[in-house]
Amino acid sequence: MTSLTGIRAASGRSSSRRAAPPWPLLAVAALVAALALVPLVYLVLRTIDGGSSAIETLLRPRTLELIVSTFVLGNAVIVGAVAMGVPLAWLTMRTDLPARRVWSVLAIAPLAVPSYLLAFAFVGAFAPRGWLGGLGVPSVYGFWGAALVLSLATMPYVVIATRAALARLDPATEEAARSLGRGPWAAARTAILPVLLPAIGAGALLACLYAISDFGAVSILRYDTLATAIYSQYRFSFDRSSAAALALLLLVLALGLVWAEGRIRRRAALNTPHGRRRLPAPVALGHWRLPALLFCASVALLALGIPVATITVWLVDGLRAGLPLEVGLDALRDSVLLAGSAALIAVLLALPLARLVTHFPGRASSLTDRLLYGVYAIPGISLALAVVFFTLNAVPVLYQTLFALVLAISLRYLVQSVGALRGPMLQVSPRTVEAARSLGEGTFGVIRTITLPLLRPGIVAGFMLVLLSGLKELPLTLLLAPPGTSTLATELWDAAREAFYAQAAVPASLLLVVSFVSVGLLVRRGEIEA
């Protein structure tokens, strides 16, 4: 799963107390903690060193305006993502909607579309000079455009969380309501919705976290938030103390949302039955079938159709104008190598960490678990600045190197690999290993015949999840990539920012294809339930 809710839903705990964790597992956990926390601690120190300048930045009326605009956007995205995600989840899980499997996949597929690409597509389509600009659509720039784009980008989080809760919900609750004479709609409203609220709330908070941390989409759509202010202070004003102070403020806000999401998630775990239950008979939509189909088609059109169509228009316009449309194989190669290297490091670190948190419950595993989720929640722009300040002053040999960039990406998305490995790691029990040894298998034989086959699905899923996230990553790449390094994300960003849409079409199309393939593989393997 790509959300915290989805990752945590896959978690499990060993039923019995075990011995203290081996020192190699603790060493890996300590290494990850140091790599994640040292740059963030340095961000705090950099803010403190700023002294009065940093304090003045935090106390400016403009900063308050940015906080308000960021939270207003986050709340709007909550409303939008829930308004689209909950009906989609219910329609594809509990009704006789035609082609439910297809609509389920289409509801999750926007995970493959980076928010900045979706924003560029909306500008290319609905701006005054866009290919749909003559339809009289209100301006895509500003608050409403940013709210719509980010709602579409985060809607899959709500869909995944709600579908997972629906799959675990005992239909006896609904059947009891129906036995009291209530119709299917009233039963759903009174018996099902209250039970689903914690899961919906967790997905909604994840959407809000994504929105307040987003840099690309809000920058393109000209809506000022804390993320855009941080980038401007660092890139254009060269005021690094102010940038550090704002980055720290955004980090605190994001971690506050993670804390709230965790509390809601725990309520969801307590209130929702575990294990897959039998599903009730699908609710007949009747005369609501056509409106339901139109609703699903409208969401799919906005989230998937507009970006695909806009990129196609850009390509055709470029070919008609005789512009040299470079294939962008170098950027594709660098993107895959960069994201693939980060995914490989993440999997290698995740293997001992997953064993620690699943087989050795205790304080060390609990702290490691919280650290991983905390790093995942750090806004990309804040993490990027922390790494910049740390490497520039503490280890200048790593400043703007590919190693620092790869390591930052792998650490930020490490929790995805750990989450994918939790379930398979629980299957590698000491009893299974002891049984194999009793049959004469040596250490390497046990690994080859028992451990690797059980862990292979988790390893592949963990690798693919980090690969997908790394391919789409923008803030870390913009601020940490060495000069001359180009990825599909940065090429798309540079071309579209200069309104060279024809040149942006090639990296955009390649990024979409690779991302769609990654999401498709994850759906097929069941890591993203559709």
Whether residue 13 has pLDDT greater than 50: no
Q: What is the pLDDT of residue 119?
A: 94
Whether residue 431 has pLDDT greater than 80: no
Q: What is the pLDDT of residue 257?
A: 79
Q: What is the pLDDT of residue 322?
A: 74
Whether residue 180 has pLDDT greater than 70: no
Distance, CA of 418 to CA of 398 (rounded, Å): 26
Pairwise pLDDT comparison (394 vs 189), residue with the higher score? 394
- Do 38 and 390 meet the contact criterion of CB atoms below 8 Å apart? yes
Pairwise pLDDT comparison (501 vs 429), residue with the higher score? 501
Pairwise pLDDT comparison (490 vs 178), residue with the higher score? 490
Whether residue 3 has pLDDT greater than 50: no
| Helix runs in 360-442, H state only | 363-377, 380-393, 402-412, 414-427, 430-438
Average of pLDDT values for 497-519?
A: 85
Among residues 478, 513, 471, 515, the alpha carbon closest in space to that of 493 is found at 478
Residue ranges of domains in the chain, CATH in brackets: 26-48+338-483 (1.10.3720.10), 60-309 (1.10.3720.10)
Whether residue 221 has pLDDT greater than 80: yes
Q: Measure CA of the first residue to CA of the last residue in the chain; give whole Å.
A: 11
Q: Look at residue 526 and give its three-state secondary structure.
A: coil
Q: What is the pLDDT of residue 84?
A: 96
Q: Which of 118-132, 314-328, 354-368, 381-395 has the lowest mean pLDDT?
A: 314-328
Q: What is the pLDDT of residue 5?
A: 44
The model carries a pTM of 0.84
Q: Which of 69-78, 341-350, 445-454 has the lowest mean pLDDT?
A: 445-454
Q: What is the residue-averaged pLDDT of the chain?
A: 82
Average of pLDDT values for 28-35?
A: 90
Confidence of residue 74 (pLDDT cuts 50, 70, 90): very high
| Helix runs in 226-362, H state only | 226-235, 240-271, 289-300, 306-320, 329-359
Helix (H) or strand (E) holding 100: helix 100-108
- Do 92 and 103 meet the contact criterion of CB atoms below 8 Å apart? yes
Distance, CA of 119 to CA of 521 (rounded, Å): 25
Whether residue 177 has pLDDT greater than 90: no
Q: Convert the pLDDT of each residue in 376-388 to its tens digit.
A: 878 888 888 888 8
- Do 387 and 39 meet the contact criterion of CB atoms below 8 Å apart? yes
Distance, CA of 443 to CA of 462 (rounded, Å): 25
| Helix runs in 96-215, H state only | 100-108, 115-126, 143-168, 172-179, 184-187, 193-213
Q: Convert the pLDDT of each residue in 260-289 to its tens digit.
A: 766 766 665 555 555 445 566 777 888 889
Single-letter code of the amino acid located at 228:
T
List, in order, residues 6 or more apart from 202 with CB less than 8 Å away. Answer: 4, 5, 161, 261, 264, 265, 268
Q: Which of 102-106, 324-328, 503-507 has the lowest mean pLDDT?
A: 324-328
Q: What is the pLDDT of residue 149?
A: 96
Q: Can you say how many angstroms the Cα of residue 46 is from the centroid of all Cα atoms in its chain?
A: 28
Task: Please count the residues of the chain.
Answer: 530
